């Protein structure tokens, strides 16, 4: 039996532990990074002869007060209230929808299968990814303050990369699960056993965290100039690298290399799985059998197209447009929209999820009538 709630709690504790280690690394590397920086601080030229403890304290204070500006989606004050309410609704829908999926899977023993186990982890990841970016933007709009601290920006980069990469691996794992279920149905239970499923989740999380740590720690060695405006509503790594006045050659090499490896391998796995899956389905003689086989993976295939389609769209638009507003709007399509749409895609097309949600909502005192819908 798959204890999804235990795995979710374990993931939360793992992410928290890694974030604390990142904070420790930031404090440890702060001395070396800032003493060699001439753009980020202006205190090193008059610190010679001062006690080292005094210098480090002053440099830490400088870093704590370093502010970056998130330009957001628009600078028009009349449009900001509309954007605030729109994104607040989108965030609440994302959190509520994905939370219902997690609760439905964890509360129904019939859904304690590998497919729904991975789905609950995907929903949990969508909640975390949205929470990393949207609340900060809402707070900035409400306070009419577009700034974010250097440390806060670094944490945002780290968690966006963690949960974005984790979702990428999860989609590949879910594709492999559907491939085994359709192409090797008799061996499905033996292959996709609880230990193997848990191992896939842990490996996906491990690679995502390592990738995020590498990029985040590399940013610590960069020096920033006076113009610290980010044409986004969150700290995107590529945009932050453009603000530095030091060489970003190594950072860009790592960015493209790791993106190709950690993005290309899961995508190749997805393509292979669905190539074999489609080939197997087409060999089924009856039309009803083909429809049943495709219906089990149709929702997941649509989620894959939404995730990778929006990501590729953002990348292509960044090449052909130099407008900061268009770049920020395009980023919404891959950092907000897929996470909001995933619960609807899986719940509307999946009878098991719909039935479990009705039972779950029917147990709530405020919604007894929905159980009989």
Which of 62-76, 99-113, 302-316 has the lowest average pLDDT?
A: 62-76
Element (H, E) at 94: helix 80-107
Residue 5: what pLDDT? Answer: 45
- Total domains in the fold of the chain: 1
Which domain does 30 fall in, by range? 4-372
List of residues 6+ apart from 171 with CB closer than 8 A: 122, 266, 270, 300, 303, 304, 307
- Which is more confident, 67 or 21? 67
Q: Would the pLDDT of 66 be above 50?
A: yes
Q: Please report, in angstroms and rounded to a whole number, the separation of the first and last CA atoms in the chain.
A: 29
264-282: average pLDDT: 91
Backbone angles phi, psi at 222, to 5 degrees: -95, 150
Share of the chain above pLDDT 90, in %: 36
Region of residue 72 (left: phi > 0; alpha: psi -120 to 50; beta: else): left
In terms of C-beta density within 10 A (0-12 exposed, 13-18 middle, 19 or more buried), how is residue 156 classed? Answer: buried
307-313: average pLDDT: 82
In terms of DSSP H, where are the helices of 184-335? 188-191, 194-219, 237-241, 249-282, 287-320, 324-335
- Reported as a pLDDT band with limits 50, 70 and 90, residue 117 is very high
1-17: average pLDDT: 48
- Which is more confident, 60 or 35? 60
Residue 191: what pLDDT? Answer: 94
Which of 263-267, 314-318, 338-342, 364-368 has the lowest average pLDDT?
A: 364-368
257-286: average pLDDT: 90
**CATH of residue 246:** 1.20.1070.10
Residue 37: what pLDDT? Answer: 40
Residue 148 is given by DSSP the state: E
25-46: average pLDDT: 40
73-102: average pLDDT: 91
Residue 49: what pLDDT? Answer: 43
Distance CA 137, CA 144 (A): 10
Q: Within 13 Å, how many C-alpha atoms sit on residue 56's CB side?
A: 9
- Which is more confident, 302 or 173? 173
Which of 34-38, 83-87, 117-121, 249-253 has the lowest average pLDDT?
A: 34-38
- Which is more confident, 125 or 332? 125
243-248: average pLDDT: 84
Q: Are 209 and 158 in contact (CB under 8 A)?
A: no
In the predicted model, what is the mean pLDDT of the chain?
A: 79
Q: Would the pLDDT of 264 be above 70?
A: yes
Residue-wise pLDDT for 166-196, tens only, equals: 999 999 999 999 999 999 989 999 999 999 9
Distance CA 196, CA 184 (A): 16
Residue-wise pLDDT for 188-236, tens only, equals: 999 999 999 999 999 999 999 999 999 999 998 888 877 788 888 899 8
4-15: average pLDDT: 48
Q: Within 13 Å, how many C-alpha atoms sit on residue 312's CB side?
A: 9
Residue 114: what pLDDT? Answer: 94
């Amino acid at each position: 039996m798959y204890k999804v709630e235990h795995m979710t709690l374990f993931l939360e504790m793992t992410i928290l532990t890694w974030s604390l280690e990142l904070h420790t690394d930031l404090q440890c590397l702060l001395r070396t990074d800032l003493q060699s920086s001439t753009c980020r601080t202006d205190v090193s030229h008059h610190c010679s002869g001062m006690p080292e403890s005094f210098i480090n304290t002053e440099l830490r204070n400088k870093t704590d007060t370093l502010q970056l500006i998130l330009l957001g989606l628009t600078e028009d004050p009349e449009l900001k209230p509309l954007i605030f309410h729109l994104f607040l609704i989108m965030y609440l829908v994302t959190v509520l929808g994905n939370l219902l999926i997690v609760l439905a899977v964890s509360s129904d023993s019939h859904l304690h299968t590998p497919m729904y186990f991975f789905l609950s982890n995907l929903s949990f990841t969508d909640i975390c990814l949205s929470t990393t970016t949207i609340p900060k933007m809402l707070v900035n709009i409400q306070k009419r303050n577009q700034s974010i601290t250097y440390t806060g920006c670094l944490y945002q980069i780290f968690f966006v990369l963690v949960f974005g990469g984790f979702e990428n691996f999860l989609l590949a794992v879910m594709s492999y699960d559907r491939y085994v279920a359709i192409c090797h149905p008799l061996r499905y239970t033996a292959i996709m056993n609880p230990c193997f499923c848990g191992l896939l989740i842990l490996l996906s999380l491990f690679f995502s965290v390592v990738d995020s740590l590498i990029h985040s720690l590399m940013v610590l060695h960069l020096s920033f100039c006076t113009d610290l405006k980010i044409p986004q509503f969150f700290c995107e790594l590529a945009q932050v690298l453009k603000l530095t006045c030091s060489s970003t050659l190594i950072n860009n090499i790592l960015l493209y290399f790791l993106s190709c490896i950690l993005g290309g391998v899961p995508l190749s796995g997805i393509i292979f799985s669905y190539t074999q899956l489609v080939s197997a389905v087409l060999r089924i003689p009856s039309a009803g059998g083909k429809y049943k086989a495709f219906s089990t993976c149709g929702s997941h295939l649509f989620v894959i197209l939404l995730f990778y389609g929006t990501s590729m769209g953002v990348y292509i638009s960044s090449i052909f447009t130099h407008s900061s507003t268009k770049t920020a709007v395009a980023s919404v399509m891959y950092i907000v929209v897929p996470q909001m749409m995933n619960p609807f895609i899986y719940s509307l097309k999946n009878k098991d999820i719909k039935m479990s949600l009705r039972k779950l909502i029917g147990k709530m005192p405020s919604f007894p009538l929905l159980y009989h819908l």
